[in-house]
Structure formats: structure tokens, C-alpha cells
């Protein structure tokens, strides 16, 4: 479809049956291999220039050579035009089928996915232009769309970090101006760790579990204890309310101190 139309319409509302916006068939993208094949066929339509070297030509006068070339030029032009017309006739079904493939592909995508879901509007905040401009001003819609986030993080702290990150200096993104920041790709922009809070909380957990009296804990045991604590927190439970399988209790009684339970 026409580039101007595609760029001006919300992709979620694009109508693949709006034929007035179609590109001419010869401009339809066919893919790399198909384009190469078409190019090779176009080369084959060219009529080879006659070989005017050799003993026969050397014995021919200049006037006769010019006349020969002129006659060949006219005949070659007509022959090449016929070949091009035949090639275009052969390629027309291919281009038509390619257009039909694009139409069906868009229709199937629109049927399979609910593109009117508000999530598609919410994810626009990932665009560096919107993020640096604080669009939206708050992450409220994000938390409403994904209510589980409310149990995973503090909404107010998340909102504060969202508002604060827009003021980060361009130097953190290894560019010089704010305009250059907005031109970054989504991957480059959000690949920067805006906050070390998560890492600090992880180290804090390690200090709480691996105390001076338990400094010989194996790394596997340490990780398991931290994961168990986090699981209990997510389940809003305590160790007293968890039923431990009898087989695990027996296995724990058999291991030596500081050994890992398999």
C-alpha cells in the first residue's frame, strides 16, 4: 500500500481492502530471491549485440558496417520489446498473487489478535520520545491493565521512578543532547539501568541470610533460602503454615552440616 497512507493511519485500523491505496503491481515487494529472479529474467530479454569482429568484418567497408549495425539496432529494439511484453505478462500473475498474500496475511492477523486491546496504547510509553516527554504522566493505566503488578511493586515508587527517569542527563545514554536521546531505539533506551534499587535489595537479602554465624553457607543453599523467603512473601504465608513433604524431612535429617540437599 502507499507509504503515505500506511504512515498516516493507525496500523491497528489499517484496511487492506482499500484498493485506491494500493501500489502499482510492479512496485510490490516480492522478496530478495524473487527480485533476483525477476532481474535475471530482465537481463535475458536483452538482445545480444552482433559480433562485428573477425576476418569478415575486416574485409567489410565502413559504410557497410554502419548499415549492418543500423539494421540490427531496429530489429533488436523490436525483438526486445516483444520479450519485455511477454515477461511482464508472465510476471503479472506472480505480482497479483503476492498482493493477495499480503491482504490475506493482514486479515488473518487482525482476526487472530485483538488489536483494540488498550495494551497497545499503553506500550507506546516505551517509545523514547514519549518516555522523555512523560507521556503518560503516570503509570496508572499500566497498573490497571496488569493488576498483578500491584503485588510486585509499590505503585507510588514506580510512578516516582517513571517521572524521575525523564530528567536523566543525555550523557548517561552516551549522547550529547536530549534530541539525540529521543532518537535512540527502544532497546538502547531501556537497556540502561535507571535504578540500582533491585540490585541493592538483592544484596540486602544476602546479608540477612548469610550472617557472620552462617558464613559457611554454600551458594546453592544461600540461593535456595532467598528464593524460599521470596516465595513465602508472594504467598503471604509463613514457614509455620507450610506443610513440608515427609520425604524432604527425612532427606534433611540424613545430610551433614553445610551440605547441599539434592
Query: Among the residues of 45-61, which ranges form H helices?
Result: 55-58
Q: HSE of 158 in the Cβ direction (CA atoms, 13 Å)? A: 13
Long-range Cβ contact pairs of 220-228 (< 8 A, separation 24 or more) = 220/260, 221/258, 221/260, 221/261
Task: Report residue 260 CA to chain centroid gap.
Answer: 42
Interacting residues of 34 by C-beta distance below 8 A, sequence separation 6+: 94, 98
pLDDT band at 66 (very low <50, low <70, confident <90, very high): low
State which of 1-5, 57-61, 82-86 shows the largest mean pLDDT.
Answer: 1-5
27-43, pLDDT tens digit by residue?
888 778 877 887 777 77
Domain assignment present for 262 = no
Q: Which domain range does residue 91 map to? A: 3-112
Q: What are the C-alpha distances in Å from 145 to residues 73, 102, 117, 180, 192?
A: 71, 32, 10, 31, 25
Interacting residues of 106 by C-beta distance below 8 A, sequence separation 6+: 14, 16
Radius of gyration of the chain (CA): 35
pLDDT of residue 215: 79
What whole-number distance in Å separates Cα of residue 238 and Cα of residue 229?
9
Same domain, 155 and 104: no
Of 96, 112, 128, which marks where a domain is finished?
112
What end-to-end distance do the CA atoms of the chain give, in Å?
60
178-218, pLDDT tens digit by residue?
899 999 988 888 876 555 555 666 777 788 888 888 878 87
pLDDT of residue 180: 92
pLDDT of residue 62: 47
Q: What average pLDDT score do residues 69-86 get?
A: 70
What whole-number distance in Å separates Cα of residue 172 and Cα of residue 154?
25
pLDDT of residue 55: 43
pLDDT of residue 60: 43
96-135, pLDDT tens digit by residue?
888 898 889 888 887 887 777 778 778 889 999 999 999 9
**Residue 40: all three cell numbers together:** 535475471
* Helix (H) / strand (E) containing 190: helix 186-190
Same domain, 100 and 11: yes
Domain assignment present for 130 = yes
Question: Among 166, 123, 160, 114, which residue's Cα sits nearest to residue 141?
Answer: 123
pTM of the model: 0.40
Q: What average pLDDT score do residues 127-148 get?
A: 89
Same domain, 133 and 76: no
Q: What average pLDDT score do residues 230-235 get?
A: 80
What whole-number distance in Å separates Cα of residue 24 and Cα of residue 28?
7
Domain assignment present for 260 = no
Q: What average pLDDT score do residues 138-159 get?
A: 87
- Count the helix, strand and coil residues of the chain and give each as a percent rounded to the nearest 5: 65, 0, 35
Of 94, 112, 130, which marks where a domain is finished?
112
What average pLDDT is seen over the chain? 78
Contact between 122 and 145 (Cβ < 8 Å)? yes
What whole-number distance in Å separates Cα of residue 248 and Cα of residue 262?
10
Domain count, the chain: 3
Question: Among 90, 108, 107, which residue's Cα sits nearest to residue 25?
Answer: 90
Same domain, 91 and 184: no
Same domain, 97 and 163: no
Same domain, 76 and 136: no
Question: Among 207, 233, 241, which residue's Cα sits nearest to residue 222?
Answer: 207
pLDDT of residue 218: 79
Higher pLDDT, 107 or 252: 107
Q: What average pLDDT score do residues 45-49 get?
A: 55
Let me know how long the chain is. 262
pLDDT of residue 261: 53
Amino acid at each position: 500500500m502507499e507509504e503515505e497512507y500506511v504512515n498516516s493511519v493507525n496500523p491497528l485500523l489499517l484496511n487492506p481492502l482499500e484498493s485506491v491505496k494500493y501500489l502499482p503491481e510492479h512496485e510490490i515487494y516480492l522478496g530478495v530471491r524473487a527480485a533476483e529472479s525477476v532481474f535475471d529474467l530482465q537481463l535475458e530479454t536483452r538482445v545480444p549485440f552482433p559480433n562485428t569482429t573477425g576476418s569478415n568484418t575486416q574485409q567489410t567497408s565502413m559504410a557497410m558496417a554502419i548499415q549492418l549495425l543500423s539494421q540490427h539496432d531496429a530489429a533488436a529494439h523490436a525483438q526486445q520489446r516483444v520479450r519485455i511484453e511477454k515477461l511482464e505478462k508472465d510476471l503479472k500473475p506472480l505480482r497479483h498473487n503476492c498482493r493477495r498474500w499480503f491482504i490475506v496475511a493482514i486479515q488473518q492477523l487482525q482476526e487472530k489478535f485483538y488489536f483494540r486491546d488498550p495494551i497497545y496504547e499503553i506500550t507506546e510509553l516505551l517509545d523514547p520520545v514519549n518516555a522523555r516527554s512523560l507521556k503518560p504522566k503516570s503509570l496508572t493505566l499500566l497498573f490497571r491493565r496488569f493488576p498483578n503488578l500491584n503485588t510486585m511493586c509499590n505503585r507510588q515508587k514506580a510512578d516516582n521512578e517513571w517521572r524521575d527517569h525523564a530528567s536523566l542527563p543525555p550523557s548517561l545514554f552516551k549522547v550529547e543532547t536530549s534530541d539525540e536521546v529521543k532518537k535512540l531505539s527502544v532497546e538502547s533506551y531501556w537497556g540502561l539501568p535507571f535504578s540500582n534499587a533491585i540490585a541493592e535489595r538483592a544484596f540486602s537479602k544476602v546479608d540477612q541470610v548469610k550472617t557472620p554465624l552462617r558464613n559457611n553457607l554454600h551458594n546453592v543453599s544461600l540461593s535456595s533460602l532467598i528464593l524460599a523467603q521470596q516465595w513465602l512473601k508472594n504467598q503471604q504465608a509463613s514457614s509455620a503454615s507450610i506443610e513440608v513433604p515427609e520425604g524432604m524431612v527425612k532427606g534433611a535429617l540424613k545430610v551433614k552440616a553445610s551440605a547441599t540437599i539434592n
